[in-house]
Amino acid sequence: EKIRLGIIYGGKSSEHEVSLRTALSIMKAVDANRYEVTPIYVQLDGSWVKGEAIAGQLPEKIEALRLSAGEPTATGTAESGQEVLASSKPASLFAIGQQVDVIFPVVHGPNGEDGTIQGMLELANLPYVGTGVMASAVGMDKWMMKTVFAQTGLPQVKYVGLLRSQWEKNQDEVMDKIERELGYPCFVKPANMGSSVGISKAKNRSELAHALGVAAKFDRRLIVEEFVVAREVEIGVLGNEELVTSVVGEVIAAKEFYDYEAKYKGAGTELSIPAIIPDRVAGEIAELAKTAFQALDGSGLSRVDFFWDEKNDQLYINEVNTMPGFTPFSMYPMLFQAAGVGYSELIDRLVQLAFERHADKQ
């Protein structure tokens, strides 16, 4: 009996393209004798299409399944050969639920990694790979995540969280506060984003104003952090309640920071796996990563990112990524490869963890 695996990918997000690469890698890697894969593509406009979604990549017949009620919009009409299977949300969920045993949602960023898809899958009573609603939501919002880390006693850089509306109404007051609490250089980020989208470094007040303006284009919640000069080290966590960690890897960015170009266009970035750091530091990273994962009530997988200030021997947690890049050449799978868990086996274990978590919730 094959496992019917639905892969939800794409998404109404700046990380759409990243998601396509991950989905394609997974589809290629799974053992066709053990899995029957159903691709479920969330188009950039937010509409859903089931079936062959990356043209020419998959042999299956194209069907369309739309999760939004009512008439398709101009940009969201089904392409030729696609068929709208259902016009209302619950009916569509029910339709998917009958056709797959488990879902692997590989949608990064808002409307994917943030608990929304996970909530929908909970309602459909479907097992799914990865983090649940709460951990996804908390892990997506850097401001909320930092609040949880602080409460858990995890070491992190100083930060200021603010709303776009506060910035727009009281620019000087906001910048005074940031200068008082953080100083320069500082680092400005949209709270709900990934892949370094919308983030920038500010060395003075005019750069800060510009950076806040940029970040505010992406989110109504913003975060400003102290800029640390440190090595960037990352670790993978795998499991539900019993956790295993991967080796630690290091990101060596040729640029000033690990930006979108560096991440996906390979512009001068090197991944050092395992990171050349003392065992004691690697051990501490593993412990902190598990603590962070549990603080969010993680499940399945996460990549936990840290800064290690070697000079002062100080570790800072940066973030938990609940749906990290997942191509065979992405950090998370490579960290586990180095720990002896290959890409296909990793997918098997994640699917197994999805079933176990589903059973545990009942």
Of positions 114, 141, 250, 305, contacts Mg ion by CB under 5 A? 305
Give whole-number Cα distances, 29 to 86, 108, 206, 329, 343, in Å. 30, 20, 48, 13, 7
Of positions 99, 152, 166, 196, contacts ligand ATP by CB under 6 A? 196
Angstrom distance (rounded) from CA 251 to CA 335: 12
Does residue 239 touch Mg ion according to CB under 5 A?
A: no
Does residue 114 touch ligand ATP according to CB under 6 A?
A: no
Angstrom distance (rounded) from CA 227 to CA 320: 18
- Tell me, what DSSP letter sits at residue 58? -
157 binds, among ligand ATP, Mg ion, none (CB under 5 to 8 A by kind): ligand ATP
Rounded least distance, CB 307 to ligand ATP, Å:
6
Rounded least distance, CB 112 to ligand ATP, Å:
13
Angstrom distance (rounded) from CA 271 to CA 338: 12
Does residue 11 touch Mg ion according to CB under 5 A?
A: no
Angstrom distance (rounded) from CA 64 to CA 40: 9
Angstrom distance (rounded) from CA 122 to CA 333: 26
Q: Is 247 left (phi over 0), alpha (psi -120 to 50) or beta?
A: beta
Of positions 228, 238, 288, 353, contacts ligand ATP by CB under 6 A? 228
CA angle at 267 for the pair 263 and 272, rounded to the nearest 5°: 65
What is the CB neighbour count within 10 angstroms for residue 164? 19
> If DSSP codes are grouped into helix, strand and coil, which group holds residue 318?
strand
Angstrom distance (rounded) from CA 26 to CA 249: 22
Angstrom distance (rounded) from CA 40 to CA 68: 14
Contact segment (CB under 6 A) with ligand ATP among 42-50, 227-235, 266-274, 275-283 equals 227-235
Contact segment (CB under 5 A) with Mg ion among 32-40, 294-302, 319-327, 346-354 equals 319-327
Q: Which residues of 316-329 are buried (b: 16+ CB within 10 A; e: fewer)?
A: bbbbbbbbbbbbbe
Q: For the segment 118-157, give every residue that binds ligand ATP (CB under 6 A).
A: 157
CA 135 remoteness from chain centre = 11
Of positions 305, 322, 334, 353, contacts ligand ATP by CB under 6 A? 305
Does residue 113 touch ligand ATP according to CB under 6 A?
A: no
Does residue 306 touch ligand ATP according to CB under 6 A?
A: no
Of positions 118, 321, 330, 337, contacts Mg ion by CB under 5 A? 321
Does residue 141 touch Mg ion according to CB under 5 A?
A: no
> Please, which residue, 101 or 114, has the CB nearer to ligand ATP?
114
Rounded least distance, CB 280 to Mg ion, Å:
24
Contact segment (CB under 6 A) with ligand ATP among 192-200, 213-221, 238-246, 335-343 equals 192-200
Does residue 289 touch ligand ATP according to CB under 6 A?
A: no
Strand order through the sheet with 186-190: 159-163, 221-226, 186-190, 200-202
Axis-axis angle for helices 142-152, 279-295 (nearest 10):
110
Residue 226 tokens read as: 């102290």
190 binds, among Mg ion, ligand ATP, none (CB under 5 to 8 A by kind): none
Q: For the segment 236-275, give every residue that binds ligand ATP (CB under 6 A).
A: 253, 257-258
- Amino acid identity of 260? Y
Does residue 194 touch Mg ion according to CB under 5 A?
A: yes
> Please, which residue, 48 or 293, has the CB nearer to ligand ATP?
293
> Please, which residue, 101 or 226, has the CB nearer to ligand ATP?
226
Question: Which positions touch ligand ATP (CB under 6 A)?
Answer: 157, 187, 189, 193-196, 199, 225, 227-228, 232, 253, 257-258, 305, 318-319, 321
Question: Which positions touch Mg ion (CB under 5 A)?
Answer: 194, 305, 319, 321
